[in-house]
Structure 1
Amino acid sequence: MAGLLAISFSCTTEKSTEEIIETSMTYSFLVGTYTEDSTQGINQLDFTPSEEKLEIRTIFPGIKSPSFVLANSAGDKVFTLEEIDNVPGGNIISLSRNSDKPSLTKISELPSFGDHPCYLALSPDEKFLTAANYSGGNFSAYKIDEKGNLTHLQTIQHEGSSVNKGRQSAPHVHSTVFSPDGKYLLVADLGTDEVYVYDFDANSPEPLTLNNAYKTTPGDGPRHLVFSQDGKEIMLVQEMTAALEILSFDEGKITPKQRISLIADDYKGAIGAAEVRLSPDGKNIYVSNRGDASSLSVFAKKDDGKYWLIQQTTSGGIMPRNFNLTADGKYLLSAHQASDDIVVFERDLDTGKLTQTDWKVSVHRPVYLFRLGD
């Protein structure tokens, strides 16, 4: 990801100079969007702070609402979806990526076997893919061959409902996340207020078997989750109550540790917590809140082992459905579905606090950012 080389010189003595070579870094992200015409689709964003460049281009047009997109660690295979309802559901698509152009070429396409797929996950060994179907209330598993072709293995249907009759009259699977060791798949269901823990057996024709389910507070609407770097904690965002839950995870068992509100006690207005991310250095948790709040919350772990809110700031736009950090943790990019833009924040590497910059780029309904180059 190195860009141009900038060479500077500084005098160390009166008689000599030391040549310092600094790499002008370009950070690249795949951008998932909601589309309205055939010119829109998957985008690539390239950000070079030293040159004050923030550029975005469409690299795979003609796809319908690729609202989630990710790549393998090599960056040569990309996986996306079409968040649509159709028979038998939306679509799951694998693509090859040419990083020089950049461009994407379709390899294979299969149905998601459920309406409105909204989330994808790669197994740690990158040989399996799972897809969450929001309206379908189910999720599917696929095998990935060496060329990137997909083979459908299994679809699991959830049943049940919860207390909010307007949004929880049926299951709504919102995310599927592998544990770092690849032994488990955690499935957050907004409709049933549960996080399901499935055992994952890569050698089985149907690799997923239900182990147990963690019940959240009725009306929470669990949405997205991330693991701590050691795999012993889960950070879970509750969409409908705008809460962050810290959970312990031990051999497939979930135990509650801490619950933190993302809104003030006197807050009035619509809410909709969306994304949760852990900083690359593991020091901070970041959570976005949509609705009328359009905010980013920053948390830090203190000496008592608990997480504390250290900052709450505007996201710089309207409806921050998604955001991500650069691999070195120096910047956070916030994508806004309603204001059609992506805004850049600088991150203090010591405290984790954010400062909004003037860097901003326009793009039609950005709803997911995937960091390339990991």
Structure 2
Amino acid sequence: MKKLFSFFLFASLIWGCSPNKPTEVKEPTKTYSFLVGTYTDDPNQGINQLDFTPATNSLEVRVIYPGIQNPSFVLANASGDEVFAVEEIHSETGGNILSLQRSNPSEALKQITTMPTFGDHPCYLALSPDERFITVANYSGGSVSVYKIEENAKLRHLQTEQHSGKSINEARQEAAHVHSTVFSSDGNFLLTADLGSDEITIYDFDPNSPEPLTINNTFKTQPGDGPRHMIFTPDGSELLVVQELTAALEIFDFQSGKLTSKQRVALMADTYKGEVGAAEVRISPDGNHVYASNRGEANSLTVYEKRDDGKYWGIQLVSSGGSMPRNFNLTADGKYLLSANQASNEVVVFERDPATGKLSETDLKVEIHKPVYLHRLAN
């Protein structure tokens, strides 16, 4: 791997540094709930709900919306009564976006709207801060679409912006591939990560316009990076981007719709020579630690600490507990991390030390068919 960015020393980053650890009894009545997006192979599969109760070492899974094709990304509004999902498929009008409803978390979902995404293989959704709009990233289609969320979760298509371009990785970057979208905390901007063209596009977002998106500027990442997923820090001043193809985490300053690269750190030690496939990035509830997953031959989770000087440093590298950790998420209190391992068909539970941010794999895991996204529900 080329040294395109500053590598950090993993003094304690060796496999086996976080052995399986039985979960101790804590908070007897606490249950954490997640929506689980999956890839499907039969009509009985679909959107799942996972309920995790540490006190009883319980991981319960049930299908709450079967019959949907490849709901690889699923999210809910803050109250949890409106749920949105993609069907990651291709057709004449692209994939689909669905809106669904339920009155409480024990119910199954009922469909409200199904609409085309106007681009093949939609793979990511983002809600505006006021929950009035939703955007979808079309991976194979290389586009981003915007919808208005109307009364009773009905969707109305407003706009589709087509991307173009390619980059140096001929196998993966032969065309535009929009992999994610994220709103700024004030809702004034929408950012898109395009793996195919090595670009992060910053759109102005005008909620009062019939077509809310207008390009403000575009940031070009290093050739071959393949920007995948993004997340803002809690105060909205920094954007963290995981570069899939170079297995890098890049930290940007974000001010007035402009990005400035501040730091690049690796997901692996510089001695690692295997296949990579960086996937997800998350921030701890207190904003002090960052987590990133790496697929390929690595199948790992990397932990970073934000130091007083504002720099991020790698402090731990652990196995994801399975194969192909496409996604993972933290509980709202930051006590646990759940890793969705797509190829090994399981979700694995880690305990997290809130002070150090480090992870310890527990012996808790549950079988789910091809889990690829975990959305945390409010509990």
Q: State the TM bucket, normalised to the shorter chain.
A: over 0.9
Name the residue aligned to 1:93. Answer: 98
Partner of 1:196 in structure 2?
201
TM-score using structure 1 length: 0.93
Contact 2:80 2:105 in 1 (8 A): no
Residue in 1 aligned with 2:6?
none
Query: Which residue of 1 is the match for residue 152 of structure 2?
Result: 147
Structure-2 separation of matches of 1:305 and 1:115: 39
How many matched pairs?
Answer: 354
The 5-angstrom pairing of residues 243-254 of structure 1 reads: 243-254=248-259
**TM-score w.r.t. length of structure 2:** 0.92
- Matching residue of 1:327: 332
Q: 2-side partners of 1:114 and 1:191: how far apart?
A: 15
Match in the other structure for 1:361: 366
Tell me the C-alpha RMSD between the 2 structures.
Answer: 1.1
The one-letter code of the counterpart of 1:257 is K
Residue 229 of structure 2 corresponds to residue 224 of structure 1: yes
Deviations 1:259-298 (A, max 9, x none): 0011222212210000000011111000000000000000
Taking the aligned partners of 1:44 and 1:242, their CA distance within structure 2 comes to 30
How far apart are 1:169 and its partner, in Å? 1.0
SS across alignment from 1:321? strand
- 2:10 equivalent in structure 1: none
CA drift at 1:102: 2.6
The reply to whether residue 282 of structure 1 matches residue 298 of structure 2 is no
> Which whole-Å CA distance do the structure 2 matches of 1:30 and 1:97 have between them?
13
Which consecutive residues of structure 1, in runs of 5 or more, have no partner in the other structure? 1-20
What secondary structure sits across from 1:50 in the alignment? helix
Q: Which residue of 1 aligns with 2:21?
A: none
Determine if the alignment matches structure 1 residue 241 to structure 2 residue 246: yes
Give the letter aligned to residue 193 of structure 2: A
Contact persistence 2:326–2:373 (CA under 8 A): yes
Q: Equivalent of 2:270, from 265, 268, 271?
A: 265
| Residues 152-190 of structure 1: per-residue CA shift (max 9 Å, x gap) | 000000011111111111000000100011000000000
Flag the 1:22–1:358 CA change in 2: closer, same or farther, 3 A.
closer
How far off is 1:97 after superposition?
A: 2.1
Displacement of 1:106 after TM fit?
0.1
- Alignment partners' CA distance in 2, 1:349 and 1:188: 30
Within 5 Å, give how 1:1-374 maps onto structure 2: 24-373=29-378
Give 1:318 shift. Answer: 0.3
Secondary structure of the 2:152 match is coil
4+ runs deviating over 3 angstroms = none
Task: Tell me the distance in 2 between the aligned counterparts of 1:300 and 1:309.
Answer: 6
**How far off is 1:146 after superposition?**
2.1
**Aligned equivalents of 1:100, 1:118: Cα separation in 2:** 24
Contact 2:27 2:55 in 1 (8 A): no
Aligned residue number for residue 9 of structure 1: none
Higher strand share: 1
1:204-233 residue CA offsets vs partner (Å, 9 max, x unmatched):
000000000111000000000000111100
The answer for unaligned runs of 5 or more in structure 2 is 1-25
Q: Which one has a bigger Cα radius of gyration?
A: 1
2-side partners of 1:173 and 1:259: how far apart? 22
Once residues 75 and 123 of structure 1 are traced to their aligned partners in structure 2, the CA distance between those partners, rounded to angstroms, is: 15
**Contact 2:139–2:177 (CA<8 Å) still a contact in 1?**
yes
Over 3 Å counting, the alpha-carbon distance change for 1:22 and 1:343 in structure 2 is: closer
Deviates more, 1:217-226 or 1:263-272: 263-272
CA deviation vs aligned residue, 1:24-68 (integer Å, no higher than 9, x gap): 100000000000000100000000001111111111000000000
Partner of 1:15: none
Amino acid at match of 2:46: G
